[in-house]
Structure 1
């Protein structure tokens, strides 16, 4: 039985009714609006008639169905045998995208057809809900990378691992190996519930409020691979954390649960909905509702169903939950959730307190059982199959069998005895995984970029790595007051969260002064999500005309950091983000 079959058939579990309130007979019911003159493809309002080609093929034959064809037809027939709709659509439901053909520059991204941009190889996204891995699983991923992916492996900011150069002929064997150790690629991409972000220190942190692992497990076992949620308007991103650092970038997920202690009801979760970035960034909003641990899966399901039933489907660039929330507002969204999908009212709840510690978990930290966890930093998330295999060996040699991925493209090693910590740190350094990185290396992430992505305009991983190494030399004697987040993205879609970084770089082509173009980036400054350094989360500012070339990243960062250190109000503890929002444009050049 496949992952999809197993999960779809899992029996639903009982709901924790400890704080649930039965709906009042006289309660005002939220009524759906009347259909507009021009339908938006909202199933509950406009009906299910597909309004575009993408919606049509999803209804004709859902994305989950393609697995059987991959195993029985395409793996035998090779790339040329793949139906185009399967190739460019349904394959995503199983974590497969065609990768960019080598040698095609960024200037052709918007001018060539998909079949002209793509190679006959795939990026394979391995789904890791909550970022939780055993060393056995890590070793299998390493083997897949080494044997089938030319050694490629990237840690993503969604806690997944991506492997490249995958042939369709090898996919069934890759699935067999991954599923043999409890991993998979089910709904790793596509218009479905994507991987669920979870605190990397779930169940082990000394200051954790609640371990969200049971809630993540219940959601994945009940709903991932469920046909009723396999045709959403677009992607649906989720996050759950029980840690007070709020370490899962909850403000930019479609639905998120943030742990807090309710003054009357005890420990549970604050509910957020409607976040997302890309070309129309919007931070999520609190619904003001308190959710118990036992209610999380049902509330998650309710939000996902609202997206399925009311989400906009006519225009794909408007088919994210954030646009529905913008129209409805949080009050109406909560009412519809309670009245139409839960059948009971959620109690009101306060916001979670402001975090007092960073959420990347880099460094050495004591666990609640007296052992230690160690957060390590690869440069911009780039690792490899051989490195992952060596990491599994290193972790086991130090008495552990557990590793976590993070939403910051980091790795966290759990369960290390105190007398083995320094030996582990030294071993990690030998693999290029620093547990005590420079503040610039610690805060830099990058998307896949031009090397493999068909949407990219410029390179990211290589350019960001060069900048980090250069800046570590230039800023070696400079004392930064906090980690500096530098996020590098290859196109406007913000997979690297450019609007939420101290310095965010959005890939584009710039005039080279000789009538041609050169790779470069538009600059966003002063972004940030929840942090001990900010009173409120916010998006970065864009300074008109402020752009840097690919070769000029280190020059610009060195210059703007120098100006920040010169101008900042050190007495008040002013951060880079705070300074960037108050500084005049001349200071930011």
Structure 2
């Protein structure tokens, strides 16, 4: 994985010294909160409902065991014993004291990490496929390109104060596991008829108040021109993106306003001044960065293992875990393991300091000391020998990290919501826990099959509810917390934005609402048809009809106020 060079070390060292002085001046009263706000946000420090939250960058979701152990240290020393992994492949700590924050950044620097550009109107952390480099369907390894984007975008003076935050995702496989369609720029690796590598480039995707799927601005961009083309896209946005209205400042609004053809024309016009210039990637530069992502020392292993096959045949629980939590690997004899952070009763994406240390130990013992963070708020061991899978499963199960629910109903995406976030209209975590409790039966979940349920506490959509097969959005109604439900969203190769089914529901009604939605699916599905395919075939009408057919009575609602 990438290691800091002298420039990285110097940049981070100087930033910490600068920030330490800013915190000193804030604590002494020399800086007022309004003056300090923009300074702390540049270092990933947010002021939430109860305390400061620190968001730490995990570039393209890749972690070493040493970095994971540092997270464990921060969790137990400066927080309340846990961290929260996000859909942006980062980690957040929700109970940070301001006076501790410079020391935390200092400690992070010892394992080559920081919190720079995890907030603010700049280019944020570039995200990628959690199985990058090991995926069986990979076209190219996207991590070198993601690292080049990171180096280019960090402290880029021209793009430090964009109209709004800017997010880039890059995918190197046939299946889009980086959600490229809902990013400001989405990059999908492709090969042309000559076998040459390039990227299909999308612009103007995003969620929030105006969910929009990105539009293709270039079908095939040769990899050499990646950075100059990105720069041209950003220059046009930086010049013409709205700064008078925060809700209309994202690039998606500009692209929608003028149309993709006109935006493409303006980008091409700007690109004339950049194409084939100093920013053009060379093979030498790509090789320099790619050298950081060399393959580990894989053994030459058989495709299968007799003991493994026996355990798989004898132990149903192990077999279920293999089916849901283990992914194919491009190297024979190896597999990628997803450690589930979605055990019922635990907020989705949370991991305790003990679990963080444990995952680091697992990585050292079974996966060459490397881990990945997924968009779905889980953690991956990318290089596990098939012969070790049973042992890994037993150990992970003992730590509550082996729930066999990856891709199932209880593998929910969920933002921190109103329990922590000052922007939230409603709580997210209790809704996730109530639904998980109602549908905890794993046999039922396996029968239902693949289904993505995403929950956001407000319209900012940190829980990606717009692209959930079932999306739940917290809304405020006269000071009360209610929840809007949408169906038909999806990420990946067939991305779509869900449709709202009707009036919102109270928190107490939500498990029953999901139950009624699933009743229609079970009744109407054809053989092994996935939930999303049933919704696309039928539309939302039959689901809506069944959900609202009779009022949902709970301890908190009666027939007349069941819906709002």
Q: Compute the TM-score of the two structures, normalised by the length of structure 2.
A: 0.80
Shift of 1:510: 5.4
Name the structure 2 match of 1:421: 389
Residue 537 in structure 1 maps to residue 537 in structure 2: no
Q: Distance in 2 between matches of 1:65 and 1:363?
A: 42
Name the structure 1 match of 2:224: 294
Structure 1 169/499 Cα, relative in aligned 2: closer, same or farther at 3 Å? same
Residue 257 in structure 1 maps to residue 187 in structure 2: yes
Q: Distance in 2 between matches of 1:244 and 1:201?
A: 12
Residue 93 in structure 1 maps to residue 42 in structure 2: yes
Mapping for residues 183-202 of structure 1, pairs under 5 Å: 183-202=113-132
Is the deviation greater in 88-97 or in 567-576? 567-576
Name the structure 1 match of 2:546: 587
Q: Distance in 2 between matches of 1:540 and 1:82?
A: 44
Name the structure 2 match of 1:525: 487
Give SS of 2:485's match. strand
Name the structure 1 match of 2:60: 130
Mapping for residues 426-445 of structure 1, pairs under 5 Å: 426-434=394-402, 436-437=404-405, 440-441=408-409, 443-445=411-413
Shift of 1:423: 1.1
Q: Distance in 2 between matches of 1:465 and 1:175?
A: 32
Name the structure 2 match of 1:561: 518
Structure 1 79/296 Cα, relative in aligned 2: closer, same or farther at 3 Å? farther
Name the structure 1 match of 2:20: 71
Mapping for residues 134-145 of structure 1, pairs under 5 Å: 134-145=64-75
Name the structure 2 match of 1:388: 356
What is the total number of aligned residue pairs between the two structures?
490
Mapping for residues 96-495 of structure 1, pairs under 5 Å: 96-101=45-50, 121-264=51-194, 266-343=196-273, 363-370=325-332, 371-379=334-342, 380-434=348-402, 436-437=404-405, 440-441=408-409, 443-473=411-441, 476-477=443-444, 480-495=447-462
Give SS of 2:439's match. helix
Contact 2:468/2:487 (8 A) holds in 1: yes
Structure 1 286/77 Cα, relative in aligned 2: closer, same or farther at 3 Å? closer
Is the deviation greater in 84-93 or in 313-322? 84-93
Q: Distance in 1 between matches of 2:487 and 2:540?
A: 11
Contact 1:376/1:436 (8 A) holds in 2: no
Mapping for residues 46-61 of structure 1, pairs under 5 Å: none
Name the structure 2 match of 1:498: 465
CA RMSD, 1 decimal: 2.8
Contact 1:94/1:185 (8 A) holds in 2: yes
Give SS of 1:450's match. helix
Q: Distance in 1 between matches of 2:365 and 2:246?
A: 49
Contact 1:362/1:435 (8 A) holds in 2: no
Q: 1:508 aligns with which of 475, 479, 483?
A: 475
Shift of 1:463: 2.6
Q: Distance in 2 between matches of 1:79 and 1:488?
A: 40
Shift of 1:8: 12
Structure 1 263/451 Cα, relative in aligned 2: closer, same or farther at 3 Å? same
Q: Distance in 1 between matches of 2:498 and 2:409?
A: 20
Structure 1 266/138 Cα, relative in aligned 2: closer, same or farther at 3 Å? same
Contact 1:66/1:86 (8 A) holds in 2: no
Q: Distance in 1 between matches of 2:275 and 2:227?
A: 15
Q: 2:508 aligns with which of 535, 551, 555?
A: 551
Give SS of 2:380's match. strand
Structure 1 311/294 Cα, relative in aligned 2: closer, same or farther at 3 Å? same
Structure 1 261/521 Cα, relative in aligned 2: closer, same or farther at 3 Å? same
Name the structure 2 match of 1:38: none
Shift of 1:80: 5.4
Structure 1 254/132 Cα, relative in aligned 2: closer, same or farther at 3 Å? same
1:308-328: CA deviations, max 9, x gaps? 222111111111000111122
Contact 1:364/1:372 (8 A) holds in 2: yes
Q: Distance in 2 between matches of 1:465 and 1:86?
A: 39
Contact 1:447/1:460 (8 A) holds in 2: yes
Structure 1 524/229 Cα, relative in aligned 2: closer, same or farther at 3 Å? same
Give SS of 1:414's match. strand
Q: Compute the TM-score of the two structures, normalised by the length of structure 1.
A: 0.77
Q: Distance in 2 between matches of 1:472 and 1:579?
A: 28
Shift of 1:276: 0.9
Give SS of 1:383's match. strand
Shift of 1:582: 4.9
Structure 1 504/65 Cα, relative in aligned 2: closer, same or farther at 3 Å? farther
1:158-206: CA deviations, max 9, x gaps? 1000011112211221111112212111110110111101111111223
Q: Distance in 1 between matches of 2:64 and 2:17?
A: 29
